[in-house]
Amino acid sequence: MSGEPLLEINDLSVVYRTPTGDVRAVDHVNLTLHRGEVVGLAGESGSGKSTLVYGANRLLRPPALITGGSVRYSGRRLVAEHGPAELLQLRADELRRLRWREIAIVFQSAMNALNPVLSVGAQLTDAIYAHLQLGKHDAREKAATLLDLVGIPRSRLRSYPHELSGGMRQRVMIAMALVTDPEVVIMDEPTTALDVVVQRDILTQIVELKEQLGFAVLFITHDLSLLLELADRIAVMYAGQMLESGTAAQIKNEPAHPYTRGLLNSFPSLHGPRRELAGIPGSPPDLRGLPPGCPFMPRCTYAREACKEVDMSLKPVFADISHVTACPFVQPGVSA
C-alpha cells in the first residue's frame, strides 16, 4: 500500500479508571489503515481490540480515559477542505460531523443497534438527514438503493426490525453504515451472532461492496480463520498490546508470535493433514498492574527467563518491515 495512510493510530493508550487502579485496556498501540484496505484486528475476548477502535473514535464512555497517543484521520473530503484531523483533539460537535460521514460502524449486535419501534427506512434515512443535505424523496431513494446493494428487496424499507431475520438485520446495519458513503467502515464482529452460511454470504457481500464503493474496512473479530480469508493485513492483540502484525499470508504461513500460533492451532483446517487441535491453556491476565515484560508469558510454551524483561515493541521478522512481532525469541517455522 502506498501513500498517506487513511487512519493512523499512534501510540494510543486507553485505561478504564476504577477505584482499585487503572485497567490498562490498550497500551501504546499503533495501527494504520490505508485506502481500500481491509485490516483485521484479532484477539480473544478482553484483549482490547474493541477498546482500541472505539477509543480511537472516542466512543467510549467514562470510566474510559485516553491517556496518550494520537489518531490521525486523512479522508479525501476532509483533506481537501481543511487537512487531516486529529481525532483526539476534536470537540464534540466536530466529532459528530465526522462520525458516520467519514467513519461508520457496523455494530456487533444488530438486534440491539436497531430501534424496534422505527421502520428500517426511517432509521436509514435518519443517518442521511444527519449528514447529507438531501430531500425526502432523494433520501428514501438512496436508502432503497443501499438496501438493494446489500441484497434486501427495497420493499423492506417499511418493515420493522422484528419482521426481519438476524442476517437481514445485520445487512441493514451494513447498509446503514454505507448510507453516507464513508471512507472507513469499522466492523465489530458483524457476523458473530449468525450461522456460518449467512456469515459467508455477508462476508462475500462486504468484499464486493468494498470493491464497488472503495471504503477501507477495520474488521474486529476473535475469529482468526475468518480474517485469513478476508483481510489484507492482520494485527493480533493480547492484553491490550499488539503482539504481531503482518499480511494475511504472512500470518497464516509464518506466524512468528507464540500467541498467534496458539490462535491458529485452535481451529481445524479443512485442507491439509488431520491434526490434534490445541487450545491455549490458561486465561488472559488481570490488566491492573501488569508486570513488565511479555503479558503472554504465563501461558506461553516457549516461555523463558528473558521474557520477564523483554521489550514489547514490534520488531520486523526477517528483514520484511510489513511483518512485525513483539517476540524476539521465537522465529517462524521453529518449534520449541
Partner 1 sequence: MPFKAKVGAVMLGVFLLAAIIGPLVEPYDPGYQNPNPALSLKGPSAAHLLGTTTLGQDCLSQLLTGIRLTLELGLIVGVVATVLAVIVGVTSAFLGGVWDELLQLLSNVFLVIPALPLLVILLGYLSGRGQTPTILVLSGLGWAWGARVIRAQTLAIRNRDFIAAARETGEKTWRILLFELVPNEVSLIAASFVNAVLYAIGASVALAFLGLTDLNSWSLGTMLYWAESQQALQLGAWWWFVPPGLAVALMGTALVLVNTGIDEIGNPRLRDASSASRIAGHRIMPTAPTPVLALVGTERGRLGEFLHSFSRSSVLEDK
| CA end-to-end distance (rounded Å), the chain | 34
Instruction: Evaluate the omega torsion of the peptide bond into residue 332 and state whether it is cis, within 30 degrees of 0.
Output: no
Name every residue whose Cβ is closer than 8 Å to that of residue 30 and which is 6 or more positions away in sequence: 9, 10, 11, 12, 242, 314
8 Å CB contact between 74 and 84: yes
Binding test (CB under 8 A) with partner 1, winner from 6, 23, 41, 66: 66
Binding test (CB under 8 A) with partner 1, winner from 21, 68, 279, 316: 68
- Contact status: 291 vs partner 1 (CB under 8 A): no
Binding test (CB under 8 A) with partner 1, winner from 2, 3, 61, 116: 61
Binding test (CB under 8 A) with partner 1, winner from 10, 30, 67, 192: 67
Q: CB of 65: closest distance to partner 1 in angstroms?
A: 5
- The residue (of 54 and 238) whose beta carbon lies closer to partner 1 is 54
Contact letters for partner 1, residues 2-41 (x by CB under 8 A): ------------x--x------------------------
- Contact status: 109 vs partner 1 (CB under 8 A): no
Query: Rounded to whole angstroms, how far apart are CA atoms 207 and 45?
Result: 25
Block residue for cell numbers 432523494: 138
Block residue for cell numbers 495501527: 31
Q: CB of 127: closest distance to partner 1 in angstroms?
A: 17
CA dihedral (224, 228, 231, 236) positive or negative: positive
- Contact status: 112 vs partner 1 (CB under 8 A): no
> Looking only at Cα atoms, what is the longest distance across the chain?
67
Under DSSP, the state recorded for 132 is S
Query: What residues make contact with partner 1 under the rule CB under 8 A?
Result: 14, 17, 54-55, 58-68, 88-92, 95
